[in-house]
Amino acid sequence: MDIVVHEASADTAVLECSGRLNMVSAPVFRERVAEVVGGGRSHLAIELSGVDFMDSSGLGVLVGSLKTARQAGGDLRIAAPSDQVQMVLKLSNIDKILRTYPDGDAAVSDWL
């Protein structure tokens, strides 16, 4: 999995992800989120348009990342999920917990 971090403001970042979000890549994702939040950016938009596959480990790391962000006084939102990711979010009802936006700009617009 590739993760590119775009800093939107002093406390906001967009993490643009591509590849597979599964049990192999989930620890890498978790570490990257911890680095970004530890660096003072607790409002995170996770851009998932480039993620072609996500499994239950991916769901778990997203929920864990939401907890990390909220414990730091922020929040986490999903931006532009691919069709497969959107299906997994809906089937698991995680889309009720993690708000989904059409793109990274829309996800962070009311934080800026």
CATH code (residue 87): 3.30.750.24
Q: Domain span at residue 96?
A: 2-101
Residue ranges in the chain whose pLDDT is less than 50: none
Asked whether the beta carbons of 40 and 12 are under 8 A apart, the reply is: no
pLDDT digits (tens, 9 = 90+) for 36-59: 999 999 999 999 999 999 999 999
* Cα 106 to Cα 29: distance, rounded to the nearest angstrom: 22
For the chain, the first-to-last Cα distance in angstroms comes to 28
Angle between helices 83-91 and 56-71 (to 10 degrees): 80
Does some domain include residue 38? yes
Structural tokens at position 13: 């970042």
pLDDT at 80: 97
Q: Which residues pair with 18 in a beta bridge?
A: 2, 50
pLDDT at 110: 82
Does some domain include residue 110? no
Does some domain include residue 45? yes
pLDDT at 90: 96
pTM: 0.94
Does some domain include residue 106? no
Asked whether the beta carbons of 17 and 47 are under 8 A apart, the reply is: yes
pLDDT at 111: 86
